[in-house]
Amino acid sequence: MAKKRKKEPCILIIDACRVTREETYEMLESEWSDEIVTAENAKEGIELFIKFAHNLKAVIIDLNLPDMTLATVLKKIKSENVTPEIIVLTNENDIPAAVQAMKLGVYDILKRPVFKAELLFSIGKVFELDHIIEKLKSYLEDNKELVLEIRLEEFRKIMQERRRIGNPLTHREIALFFPPPGERSNVSL
């Protein structure tokens, strides 16, 4: 019978090496034991990611999985339209691989052997960032009128400047500031 989870997983560990996967789990289990799920290859990791994507905050992944490249795994993760932070583990002192991983948008790269304090620090920063983002979303939701007021003021300034230079805003540009209901604005304040 499968162990019943108390909470949904928020950390996914993908590592082909059983020993490394277990060591990584053990480093995190005192804080998040019921919230960690592990996979032994990229295929299984992606399946678990899709299953728990709505709740995952961090994915810890081996740089060199045997069944899929890091770039391919990250592309599949990003296609799910959720944004957990990616922490890459590597055995290598491979600067080009690290640079490529950073270009792919990973949050952190940790060289093995990974020290518990180093991993806990990195994961702690992920949860801190997530907390800040949630607070910001809550603030924006609670202060919709203020946000709209700020957006209107910015819009007025841009509109006045564009009129001054003889280049009024197009309907498309106006829609960026004030999208139809249900759509997100591409303009950030």
Cα–Cα distance measured from residue 38 to residue 55, given in angstroms and rounded to the nearest whole number: 15
What is the residue-averaged pLDDT of the chain? Answer: 84
Look at 4-13, 112-121, 171-180 and tell me which has the smallest mean pLDDT. 171-180
- Whether residue 188 is predicted with pLDDT greater than 60 in this model: the reply is no
Q: pLDDT-based confidence at 3, cuts 50/70/90? A: very low
Residue 81 scores a pLDDT above 60: yes
pTM metric for this prediction? 0.71
Mean pLDDT of 42-70: 93
Average pLDDT over residues 13-27: 94
Q: Which of 31, 43, 2 is nearest to 121 (CA)?
A: 31
Spell out the residues 6+ positions from residue 187 whose beta carbon is closer than 8 angstroms to its own. 151, 176, 177
pLDDT digits (tens, 9 = 90+) for 26-55: 999 988 877 899 999 999 999 999 999 888
Q: Identify which of 4, 23, 3, 5 has the alpha carbon closest to the alpha carbon of residue 13.
A: 23
Q: Stretch 5-12: mean pLDDT, rounded?
A: 78
- pLDDT one-digit tens code per residue, 138-186: 887 888 888 778 878 888 888 888 888 888 777 777 777 776 666 555 5
Q: Find the mean pLDDT for residues 74-102.
A: 84
**Cα separation, 58 vs 109, whole angstroms:** 13
